[in-house]
């Protein structure tokens, strides 16, 4: 899987927050966080509000949730 194979979904409302990275092909959630977890991960430097997708991708790799492939199949 590459970062291009994913899409970012977010929503923020008052004190609520949701950031999610999904597999474009399957629609399955790769990694997601809600509410206080989002704020905590931003404060700890794991998530960057100016670069949600890239920081979620990097954090998922850090946790071992995903393994990045160099190229997409068939290319």
pLDDT score recorded for residue 72: 56
**What's this model's pTM, rounded to 2 decimal places?**
0.85
Domain limits of the chain? 3-63
How many Cβ atoms are within 10 Å of 58's Cβ, its own excluded? 16
Higher local confidence (pLDDT), 62 or 72: 62
Res. 7: pLDDT tops 90? yes
Nearest 5°: the CA angle 54, 6, 13 is 70
Q: What pLDDT is stored for residue 55 in this prediction? A: 97
pLDDT tens, 19-71? 999 999 999 999 999 999 999 999 999 999 999 999 999 999 999 999 877 65
């Amino acid at each position: 899987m590459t970062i291009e194979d994913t899409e970012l979904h977010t929503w923020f409302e008052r004190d609520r927050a949701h950031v999610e990275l999904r597999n474009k092909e399957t629609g399955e959630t790769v990694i997601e966080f809600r509410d206080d977890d989002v704020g905590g991960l931003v404060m700890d430097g794991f998530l960057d509000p100016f670069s949600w997708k890239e920081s979620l991708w990097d954090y998922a790799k850090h946790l071992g949730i995903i393994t990045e492939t160099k190229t997409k199949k068939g290319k």
